[in-house]
A and B are shown apart, each in its own frame.
Chain A
Amino acid sequence: MKQEELSEDELLEKVTSTEYKYGFTTDIESDTIAKGLSEDVVRLISKKKEEPAWMLEYRLKAYNTWLEMEEPDWANVNYPKPNYQDIIYYSAPKQKKKLDSLDDLDPELKKTFDKLGISLNEQKRLSGVAVDIVMDSVSVATSFKSKLADLGIIFCSISEAIKEHPELVQKYLGTVVPARDNFFSALNAAVFSDGSFCYIPKGSKCPMELSTYFRINEAGTGQFERTLLIADEGSYVSYLEGCTAPQRDENQLHAAVVELIAMDNAEIKYSTVQNWYPGNKDGKGGVFNFVTKRGICHEKAKISWTQVETGSAVTWKYPSCILKGDNSIGEFFSVAVTNNLQQADTGTKMIHLGKNSKSTIIAKGICAGKSNGSYRGLVQISKGAKNSRNFSQCDSLLMGDSCGSHTFPYIEVKNSSSQVEHEATTSKIGEDQIFYCNQRGIGTEEAIALIVNGYCKDVLNQLPMEFAVEAQKLLEISLEGSVG
């Protein structure tokens, strides 16, 4: 339409005037090591964290594996490869002593949390969400720990778990995502400095949402967090993670590994709202988000991944399920938004090994500006996974004429009793839909938000209430001004 083209410049203007709300930095003293990666750096990290020998050995082995690996380039994204010698691998906010309670927290740090909208005390009182906060590379605060401990639930930073619960960490770390799995998982295994650890004992249902909040603060640092979550037989847990970063002109690397273990009859619900700094409208700066997330389901176990991805300059992420047990269930619900020059290559892998295993994939891509979004998914049904079923639905919604959306579904079925369904659609927000909303008094921005929310409903419905509201707001902010 004529008028649309005319106002495109204005619209671009508008998009970029929407500032990344979380782009501030916190001025706190930190303990930072020199740039670069070597065996000595790995040893230094391990030493700073006062780790046992087995952990150092694990790291060194991973480091040596990493040295022999090459950075992958099969994803449908283009970016300058990071210089791995130009990254700081360890930075921790300096704290004078170990904290007994959150009230002892550094006031500057506390301010940061307030700005992020996560007043710990508020959260404590109102929503009953237990939060672990990882700033740069170190877990700085975990709430509700003692209450959870009464139930036998362990929720702490992974560094603490390495010290306090070595038998669990040693037994499960790297069993779902081995260090040699890929370039970034090897790097993570060598240098991860913190992350969250969670263990839900047999038969217990975690009474509150567990949540980790990740924040990159220090300039030039990479963030390599490691999450390990074990749901023992018949247990249930719902876990949330959120992330933000300051606005910086250089790219920052985030290479996390998340491992989930759902024992027989256990259920894990893992939700992510990812809002790393996406870079500016010219593609300058922004976080490279190269993450490996995978879970294993034993008999009758269920893992459900829900993600709302709006941030990062480049995203490379495939939360996956290994459906090892008979009658196990894997789910993946995703909304991935790209705007301006953002690139995302994201999707899932469902590996069916057990009989009667079921998986569902609902992936919704939204592309605006000059961005590029790809869905990449693998559904693999092995010979022994008799009577397995998969349903996949991959939709893309395009805004404007300069963005691109791609779908790469891979399906491998090795038995004849299984069923795989795949549906895919691509649509544009119709001028007629916008006009219809306008005619009812709903302005164009609000109309887009409404239409996008409707489009994402199936995924947003999977999120816990408070998170769904945050995700909705994020979608609105990310797409502001993207259609006239």
Chain B
Amino acid sequence: MLKIENLKAEVDGVEILKGINLSVNSGEVHAIMGPNGSGKSTLSSVIAGDETYEVSSGSILFDDDDLLDLDPDQRAHKGVFLSFQYPVEIPGISVSNFIKAAITEKRKVLGLDPMPAKDLLWKMREKMDLLNMKPGYLSRNMNEGFSGGEKKRNEIFQMAMLEPKLAILDETDSGLDIDALKVVANGVNKLKNSNNATIVITHYQRLLDYIVPDYVHVLHNGRIIKSGGKELAHQLEEKGYDWITKLADEKWGS
């Protein structure tokens, strides 16, 4: 589904991604871990098409398209979803209106009429239950006055509504207490099927107890320096990152 080859990206002339290679197939969950500043968020932003970062080489194949040829909204229409680490506020726009706009735009591209209001509302209610959202949530303005946890849940709620093929969860666990974490993880797990894939970006192993990955990759200094199964996450939890990063630094320089 997703095939990233030799991806290099920079911001203000500083290279952050130094040649990423990654393959993700349908039905898989991949975890990307790594210390602060390793390039995890940059990778997710570049896949989503954030123009703050300039891609200097490489490709991001998604099904039959190179995502690098597409605008961010076109990538979204193809089924790429990013759960933001820091979701922004959009004052004056309610959650329901925002989601309605997003779904309408996607359907427009597919040549479909807007979803009937009744169906849309029904679907929203269903997904709200899935994520234990409080009543009144839909009429609140997008992320305005939301707590850290509410913002993250709002991201997953949108994911549930938009049903992406590829969901990238960027530090979705940060700011969540353990109960909220379970709710969010449970939601993500229920949305999983054999046709979609998830990339979980996280600093800590904690989230991976609930969203169990098929593969774990360690990102350091703009490169994936080690890949393995879910046991790799446990090793990292026990031993920290130093034992692998040292080896990598010897190879590429720090």
Contact = CB atoms under 8 A, between A and B. Distances in A.
Contacts of A438: 49, 71-73, 76
Contact of A450 (B48, B82, B84, B98): B98
Given A442-B73, A450-B90, A454-B141, A436 B105 contact: no
A439 interface: yes
B87 A443 contact: no
User: Which of A444, A446, A451, A454 has the most chain B CB atoms closer than 10 A to its own CB?
Assistant: A454
A436 B73 contact: no
Contacts of A3: 51
B73 A441 contact: yes
Contacts of A456: 92
A423 interface: no
A433 interface: yes
Interface string A438-462: 1111111010001101111110000
Interface in B84-134: 84, 87-93, 97-98, 101-102, 105-106, 109
A432 interface: yes
A149 interface: no
A431 B72 CA distance: 13
A446 B93 contact: no
A443 B73 contact: yes
Given A2-B54, A454-B141, A433 B90 contact: yes
A193 to B, nearest CB: 41
Nearest to A441: B76
B101 A446 contact: yes
A443 B74 CA distance: 8
B52 interface: yes
A433 B50 CA distance: 11
Main secondary structure of the interface of B (DSSP, over half): mixed
B6 to A, nearest CB: 22
A436 B91 contact: no
Contacts of B54: 2
B76 A436 contact: no
A454 B141 CA distance: 9
B76 A454 contact: no
Given A430-B88, A440-B98, A446 B51 contact: no
A1 interface: yes
A435 interface: yes
B30 interface: no
A133 to B, nearest CB: 33
B198 interface: no
A346 B82 CA distance: 42
Interface in B44-94: 48-52, 54, 71-73, 75-77, 81-82, 84, 87-93
B88 A440 contact: no
B88 A454 contact: no
Contact of B88 (A436, A443, A446, A450): A436
Interface residues of B, number: 33
Contacts of B172: none
Contact of A441 (B51, B52, B91, B105): B105
A35 to B, nearest CB: 47
B158 interface: yes
Given A3-B51, A441-B102, A454 B91 contact: yes
Interface string B150-169: 00000000100010000000
Contacts of A457: 92-93
Contact of B102 (A431, A432, A433, A440): A440
Q: How large is the interface on A (under 10, 10 to 19, 20 to 34, 35 or more residues)?
A: 20 to 34
A2 B52 CA distance: 9
A440 B50 contact: no
A451 B73 contact: no
Nearest to B84: A436
Nearest to A433: B88
A4 B237 CA distance: 42
Interface string A1-40: 1111000000000000000000000000000000000000
A229 B84 CA distance: 53
A254 to B, nearest CB: 31
Contact of B76 (A431, A440, A458): A440
A454 B72 CA distance: 22
A243 B88 CA distance: 37
B92 A453 contact: yes
A431 B52 CA distance: 9
B141 A444 contact: no
A424 to B, nearest CB: 16
A433 B91 CA distance: 10
Contact of B93 (A4, A430, A454): A454
B90 A439 contact: no
Contacts of A436: 84, 87-88, 90
B50 A441 contact: no
Contacts of B92: 453-458
Contacts of A443: 71, 73, 105
A432 B91 CA distance: 13
Given A432-B88, A433-B88, A439 B105 contact: no
A2 B82 CA distance: 23
Given A435-B50, A451-B93, A453-B93, A442 B102 contact: yes
Given A435-B50, A439-B82, A450 B101 contact: yes
B102 to A, nearest CB: 4
User: Which of A431, A435, A456 has the most chain B CB atoms closer than 10 A to its own CB?
Assistant: A435
26 contacts: A1-B51, A3-B51, A431-B52, A432-B88, A433-B88, A433-B89, A433-B90, A435-B49, A437-B90, A437-B102, A439-B48, A439-B72, A439-B75, A440-B76, A440-B102, A441-B76, A441-B106, A442-B102, A446-B101, A451-B93, A453-B92, A453-B93, A454-B90, A454-B91, A455-B91, A458-B92
Given A2-B51, A438-B71, A438-B73, 6 more contacts: A430-B88, A435-B48, A436-B84, A444-B73, A450-B93, A454-B93
Q: Which 3 A-B pairs have the closest CB atoms?
A: A454-B92, A438-B72, A441-B76
Interface of B: 48-52, 54, 71-73, 75-77, 81-82, 84, 87-93, 97-98, 101-102, 105-106, 109, 141-142, 158, 162
Interface of A: 1-4, 430-433, 435-444, 446, 450-451, 453-458
